[in-house]
Structure formats: structure tokens, C-alpha cells
């Protein structure tokens, strides 16, 4: 949320400040109006931060309103997830409202239009209506039903509501101007017949308002002062203003901003739904999904997503924000708050041959060097340890600073060790390595004078615990999957790696849902809801460095 008084105002803030200064509005009311036909994605997050952010900044308020006018695609599961996501992002709606609660009022207003001769029931088929619509350079044709009398239209519309016609038999259309240069003003549809069960109104209605008829009037009913939407609705503004004028109701005013998309992600509920339905991901909140619930499960913090939305800002031109920026925001946040822990994802056994058998030793290390109040935690050192397979190389290239035969490395917060033997199985695979430790090199009390360049993390075999660790990569291989003919073909086949037998330090074994950690040298991790007592499961939120960006530069 940009509260910094030095940052220049964006165009909406300028409008709002002018409206407040001129007394046009005493206070402002914005709204976030999702259609409950899927889970919210990162594009919606930008709209939520914008609407709620403006409400907060100017001491106004923001409604959450479900634009639930399409019974076929909507579901209470989506309603519930949307409320949860908005709250999780840190915003509390002033009211949680539903366009379906306005169905009766919208119906009454449709009758007002009919009485004024501004709406008519049309029995033309969808094809005929399309054919009569004209083109942007050619005016359309009037429907043969356009001049039906208001009395007759009223009777027909009541029959529509009473269920006397089958689906698609007729529609209610506004009577505006079939020659308008704005195609949306060419007698737009207001109502269609759909004998379908609605998740809130049940079977009460068999006619449903079109989005265009419901949306503007819903804003007006709620007395939304600044109705903010994405650019594709700019041509609809003329229609919303026309309806408000015809009905003489509260004049909400619409302002448009450009959609925010994010690279390597899809920001369309319809396409995200396909990923879930076809099993390319496990669920809407799969940590690979660019949904708000996916980012939550992945370990993103609400603050990091708000910061991202703030940094990409607001504009009138479509833009694709870089996924790396979102990753930067979460790293910044987690660096400050995540407790440091040791985990070994691909274990290699190390035996310290000069350390007494059966003996262990208590060491200490910091919980978070960025936070002096985070304190220390105990580590156990012993004769048998685990390190990462790739922290050892039998034939290292020059400038390899980790462990190799004859080489030395520091075990973080413990001792310097030197490798003297490599043990292999019958197939030549390394099964363990033998090292000696330097007793006078203990971290914090090092008198050895040795300065190995590499520092690696490790675990004591005596108390390391097992855990499942899930590593994620970009969901898609291309920057703009939505522009591909078949976006599913661009899925990254390596977007998930499950490590069933990773090892973790004992302090992690009973980590709770919602806790976030930095696994030293490996990245930031959080507990997945699949975790159970005695069976910890961790998700990697993000790596420590932008490995992807580096890869791209090669």
C-alpha cells in the first residue's frame, strides 16, 4: 500500500483527491466485484490491492460484491475461497454483497425501461441478432420486434419471468441506437432465459440479468463512488451511464485501468480451471498455481503480494509484470522473518574418523542473523553426519570450494573437516566419505588458523529426521503461455520434484502449518497442509537466489 507521501499520485488517486476537494464526494466507496466462477489469481490480487488500498488511503470503504449473474458457472466453493483470499491478503470488506440479492430490483428497473419504451422483448434467434448487429463501420438493422408496445412488452416480460418460454426463446433488449458507433449501444441484451439452478437464489428465477445490466446498477445500488474496472469495460461505460440516466439512480462513475498479467503464469480463471480439471495440477491451491491460494500454500506472505502489487503500480496500458519481481518481494520479506534451519535434500554419509564413537556434542547456531531477537538453537555434532551429495566431488573442477578428496571445508557453526577416503559400493557409487575434523576449529572458538573457502550445511545422523520436500519450478516454460494456441503444451514437465526422503534437523520435525523457514543454502520453505504428526511435508517457496534469471542470461 503506497502511503509514502513522496510517491507521485496515480491517476485514480488524482481523481479521488479532486472529488474529495471539490466536495463531489464526502467519502469514497470502492468495490471488488469478482464473478464466483473460479479461485482468484494474481491478477485479481492487483485489483483487490487497488480497490481496498484506495478505500483505506482515503478513509473510505470497500465492498466485496459477487457478480453472480451466471448460474451455470458459479459455485459457493468459489464464493468461500474468494472471501478467504481477500481476508488473507489483509483486507476486510465493509460489506459482502451479491448481485443476486438485487435480482428483484433489477427486474423492477427493467420494467421501468419497458414502460418508458426503452426496452423490448425480442424473439429473434441469437444468429439473427448477431446478423442484424452490423459492424463497426456499418450500422445495424432494427429488430422486427423493436416497435412492440410497452403494454405488450410488459406482458411478455412477465411471461418470461413466469417460466412460460423455454431457454433462448426470447430476450429483453434495451432500445438504444442500432447505428451507434459504440457496438455495445446497439440494443444490448438485458435478460436471457435460463432454466438453471442458482447457487444462492435456487430455482426462484428462470431469467437472469446480463452482466452489463446487473453490473452498473449494482454499483449504483451500493452507491459506489469510484467503480474501478479493467480496460475492456471502457466501451461499456456509455451503456452504464445510459441506464443510470434512464432510471434516475445514483450516478456511480466507472474508471478503467489496464490488466496486470504476470510472466510464466496464466491469469484467466477459465484456463486455470482447465489445469485443475485435467489434472495438470492437484487443485486450485496447488503451490504451482498462480492463484492467491496457490501462493499462500507455497509459502508467500500477504505482505509480499501487496508489495508486488504496489511495485507494479497502476497504468492505462496492459503490462506483463515479471514473475522474478514477485520472487524478489517474497525473498525480501522472508529474509527478515524466516527462521534458519538445516536440511539435507540429497544425503551423503560422512564419517568423522577421529571423532569418538558413541559421543555427541552440543553446538549452537543462530535462528536468524537478520533478527537479533530470534535467538539461537542447539545443534548436535557427532561421528556420523549427513551432507548434500553435491557438496562433494571426487574429481572437482578448479575453484571448487566444497569437499573433495584431500580438501577442507567448514561445517556451518561446527568444525572444519578434511576428506581422506571415499567408500564405494560394488557398482562404483560413493556410499560414504571419511573425514577427520580439526578439534580446535570449533566455530566461535577457532584457533586453528585454517581458512577453508567453503562453508556447507550438515546434519547429525544421530538425530536427523525424515521429511518430504517438494520443489517447484515455473508452471510454464514460456513467458506468455496465454498467447500460445495450446497453452497446455507449454507446461513445464519439471515443474514439481518430490523428495520423499529428505533429512531435517529435529527442530523442524514438529513445525506447524503457517511456519516459514530458510533452509540454509537451499531456499525458503513452509509447511504444507499435507503434513501430519510424524510426517512433515515442506514446500519450497522460492530459492535463495534468482537461479532462473541467471540461467536465462547464459
Name the residues annotated as catalytic: 35, 259, 269
Contact criterion met (CB below 8 Å) for 4 and 13: no
Q: Choose the stretch contacting Mg ion; rule: CB under 5 A; options: 35-43, 382-390, 425-433, 456-464.
A: 35-43
Pairing of strands 347-352, 430-437: parallel
Q: How open is the CA angle 407-413-414, to the nearest 5 degrees?
A: 55
Q: Which of 269, 297, 474, 516 binds ligand ATP (CB under 6 A)?
A: 269
In this structure, are residues 415 and 385 in contact, taking their beta carbons and an 8 Å threshold? no
Closest separation between CB of residue 205 and ligand ATP, Å? 21
Pick 36 or 407: Cβ nearer Mg ion: 36
C-alpha cell at 43: 491478477
Return the range that interacts with ligand ATP (CB under 6 A); candidates 28-36, 104-112, 176-184, 337-345: 28-36
* CA dihedral of 336, 339, 342, 345, whole degrees rounded to 10: -70
| Binding partner of 212, given Mg ion, ligand ATP, none, CB within 5-8 angstroms per partner class | none
With binding defined as CB under 5 A, does residue 333 bind Mg ion? no
Please state at what angle helix 103-115 crosses helix 150-162, rounded to 10 degrees.
160
Of 2, 15, 16, 35, which one interacts with ligand ATP (CB under 6 A)? 35
Strand partners, 202: 198
Does 34 engage in binding with ligand ATP (CB under 6 A)?
A: yes
Instruction: Please identify, among the stretches 39-47, 107-115, 214-222, 365-373, the one whose residues bind ligand ATP according to the rule CB under 6 A.
Output: 39-47
By CB under 5 A, residue 391 contacts Mg ion? no
How many CB atoms within 10 Å of residue 203?
A: 11
Among 2, 31, 35, 265, the residue binding Mg ion under the rule CB under 5 A is 35
Distance CA 554, CA 220 (A): 55
Q: Residues with Cβ < 8 Å from 457, sequence gap 6 or more?
A: 342, 343, 344, 387, 388, 411, 412, 519, 520, 521, 522
One residue of 143, 254, 267, 365 binding ligand ATP per CB under 6 A? 267
325 vs 337 by CB, closer to ligand ATP = 325
Number of shown-chain residues binding Mg ion (CB under 5 A): 1
Candidate ranges 30-38, 82-90, 94-102, 158-166; the one touching Mg ion (CB under 5 A) = 30-38
CB of 298 to Mg ion, least distance (A): 25
CB of 35 to Mg ion, least distance (A): 5
> Which segments of 383-504 are extended strands (E)?
384-388, 408-411, 416-424, 430-437, 455-456, 459-460, 465-472, 496-504
Which residue, among 38, 495, 48, 43, has the nearest Cα to 262 in the 3D structure? 43
Q: Which of 33, 93, 452, 536 binds ligand ATP (CB under 6 A)?
A: 33
Q: Which residue is nearest to ligand ATP (CB)?
A: 43
Whether the CB-CB separation of 63 and 41 falls below 8 Å is answered with no
User: Given the complex with Mg ion, which of 35 and 187 has the nearer CB atom?
Assistant: 35
Contact between 43 and ligand ATP per CB under 6 A: yes
Which of Mg ion, ligand ATP, none sits in contact with 306, Cβ below 5 to 8 A by type? Answer: none
Minimum CB separation from ligand ATP for residue 61, in Å?
17
Phi, psi for residue 224 in degrees, rounded to 5: -70, 125
Residue showing the smallest CB distance to Mg ion in the complex:
35
For residue 344, give every residue at least 6 positions away whose Cβ sits within 8 Å of its Cβ, in sequence order, or none.
Answer: 386, 387, 388, 457, 458, 459, 464, 502, 503, 504
* Binding window for ligand ATP (CB under 6 A); candidates: 42-50, 123-131, 443-451, 503-511: 42-50
123 is written with which cell numbers?
A: 424473439
Instruction: Pick the closest to residue 298 from 532, 477, 512, 525 (CA basis).
Output: 525
- The answer to the question of residue 470 lying near ligand ATP (CB under 6 A) is no
CB–CB of 75/42 below 8 Å?
no
Q: Which is nearer to ligand ATP, 35 or 285 (CB)?
A: 35
Which H/E stretch holds residue 172? strand 171-174
- Does the protein bind ligand ATP through residue 294 (CB under 6 A)? no
Q: Minimal distance in Å, beta carbon 441 to ligand ATP?
A: 54
- Residue 123 vs 211, nearer CB to Mg ion: 211
Indicate whether 30 belongs to the interface with ligand ATP (CB under 6 A). Answer: no
> 172 near 190, Cβ under 8 Å?
yes
Does 268 contact ligand ATP by CB under 6 A? Answer: yes
Per CB under 6 A, the segment of 267-275, 334-342, 463-471, 529-537 that binds ligand ATP is 267-275
Residues 218-257 that bind ligand ATP (CB under 6 A): 229-230
229 binds, among ligand ATP, Mg ion, none (CB under 5 to 8 A by kind): ligand ATP
Q: Does 67 bind Mg ion (CB under 5 A)?
A: no
Least distance (Å) from Mg ion to the CB of residue 217?
Answer: 17
Strand partners, 378: 364
CA angle 8, 9, 10 (to 5 degrees): 120
Alpha-carbon distance 278 to 457, whole Å? 40
When the beta carbons of 35 and 212 are compared against Mg ion, the nearer one is: 35
Cβ 11 to ligand ATP shortest distance, Å: 15
Which of the ranges 33-41, 79-87, 290-298, 451-459 carries the binding residues for Mg ion, by CB under 5 A?
A: 33-41
Is 338 in a helix, a strand, or coil?
coil
- Of 50 and 504, nearer to ligand ATP (C-beta) is 50
Total residues in contact with ligand ATP, by rule CB under 6 A: 15
Handedness of CA 75, 92, 237, 137 (dihedral sign): negative
What count of Cα atoms within 13 Å lies in the side-chain half-sphere of residue 155?
4
Q: Residue 44 interacts with ligand ATP (CB under 6 A)?
A: yes
- Give the interface with ligand ATP as residue ranges (CB under 6 A): 33-35, 43-44, 46-47, 229-230, 259-261, 267-269
- Give the interface with Mg ion as residue ranges (CB under 5 A): 35
Amino acid at each position: 500500500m503506497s502511503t509514502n507521501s513522496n510517491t507521485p499520485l496515480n491517476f485514480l488517486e488524482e481523481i479521488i483527491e479532486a472529488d474529495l476537494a471539490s466536495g463531489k464526494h464526502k467519502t469514497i466507496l470502492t468495490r471488488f466485484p469478482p464473478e464466483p466462477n473460479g479461485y482468484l489469481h494474481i491478477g485479481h490480487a492487483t485489483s483487490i490491492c487497488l480497490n481496498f488500498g484506495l478505500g483505506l488511503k482515503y478513509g473510505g470503504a470497500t465492498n466485496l460484491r459477487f457478480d453472480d449473474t451466471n448460474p451455470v458457472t458459479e459455485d459457493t466453493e468459489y464464493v468461500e475461497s474468494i472471501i478467504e483470499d481477500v481476508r488473507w491478503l489483509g483486507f476486510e470488506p465493509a460489506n459482502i454483497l451479491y448481485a443476486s440479492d438485487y435480482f428483484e430490483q433489477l427486474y423492477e428497473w427493467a420494467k421501468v425501461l419497458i414502460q418508458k419504451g426503452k426496452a423490448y422483448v425480442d424473439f429473434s434467434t441469437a444468429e439473427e441478432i448477431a446478423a442484424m448487429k452490423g459492424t463497426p463501420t456499418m450500422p445495424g438493422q432494427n429488430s422486427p420486434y423493436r416497435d412492440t408496445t410497452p403494454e405488450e412488452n410488459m406482458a411478455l416480460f412477465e411471461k418470461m419471468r413466469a417460466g412460460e418460454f423455454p431457454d433462448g426463446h426470447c430476450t429483453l433488449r434495451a432500445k438504444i441506437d442500432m447505428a451507434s458507433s459504440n457496438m455495445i449501444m446497439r440494443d444490448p441484451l438485458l435478460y436471457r432465459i435460463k432454466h438453471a439452478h442458482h447457487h444462492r437464489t435456487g430455482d426462484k428465477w428462470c431469467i437472469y440479468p446480463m452482466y452489463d445490466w446487473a453490473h452498473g446498477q449494482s454499483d449504483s445500488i451500493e452507491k459506489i463512488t469510484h467503480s474501478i474496472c479493467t480496460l475492456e469495460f471502457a466501451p461499456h461505460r456509455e451503456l452504464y451511464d445510459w441506464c443510470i440516466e434512464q432510471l434516475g439512480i445514483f450516478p456511480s462513475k466507472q474508471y478503467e485501468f489496464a490488466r496486470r498479467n504476470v510472466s510464466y503464469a496464466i491469469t484467466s480463471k477459465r484456463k486455470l480451471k482447465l489445469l485443475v480439471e485435467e489434472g495438470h495440477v492437484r487443485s486450485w491451491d496447488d503451490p504451482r498455481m498462480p492463484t492467491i491460494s496457490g501462493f499462500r500454500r507455497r509459502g508467500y506472505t500477504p505482505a509480499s503480494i501487496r508489495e508486488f502489487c504496489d511495485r507494479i503500480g497502476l497504468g492505462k496500458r496492459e503490462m506483463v509484470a515479471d514473475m522474478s519481481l514477485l520472487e524478489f518481494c517474497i525473498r525480501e520479506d522472508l529474509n527478515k522473518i524466516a527462521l534458519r534451519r538445516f536440511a539435507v535434500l540429497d544425503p551423503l554419509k560422512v564419517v568423522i574418523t577421529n571423532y569418538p564413537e558413541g559421543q555427541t556434542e552440543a553446538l549452537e547456531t543462530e535462528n536468524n542473523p537478520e533478527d537479533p531477537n530470534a535467538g539461537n538453537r542447539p545443534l548436535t555434532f557427532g561421528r556420523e553426519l549427513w551432507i548434500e551429495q553435491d557438496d562433494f566431488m571426487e574429481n572437482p573442477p578448479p575453484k571448487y570450494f566444497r569437499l573433495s578428496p584431500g580438501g577442507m571445508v567448514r561445517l556451518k557453526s561446527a568444525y572444519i573437516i578434511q576428506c581422506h577416503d571415499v567408500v564405494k559400493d560394488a557398482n562404483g557409487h560413493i556410499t560414504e566419505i571419511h573425514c577427520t575434523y580439526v578439534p580446535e576449529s570449533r566455530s566461535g572458538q577457532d584457533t586453528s588458523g585454517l581458512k577453508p573457502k567453503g562453508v556447507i550445511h550438515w546434519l547429525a545422523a544421530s538425530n536427523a529426521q525424515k521429511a518430504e520436500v517438494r520443489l517447484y519450478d515455473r508452471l510454464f516454460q514460456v513467458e506468455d503461455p496465454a498467447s500460445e494456441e495450446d497453452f497446455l503444451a507449454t507446461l513445464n514437465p519439471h515443474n514439481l520434484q518430490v523428495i520423499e526422503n529428505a533429512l531435517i534437523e529435529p527442530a523442524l520435525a514438529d513445525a506447524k502449518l503457517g511456519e516459514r523457514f530458510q533452509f540454509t543454502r537451499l531456499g525458503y520453505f513452509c509447511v504444507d497442509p499435507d503434513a501430519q504428526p510424524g510426517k512433515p511435508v515442506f514446500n519450497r517457496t522460492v530459492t535463495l537466489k534468482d537461479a532462473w534469471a541467471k540461467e536465462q542470461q547464459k
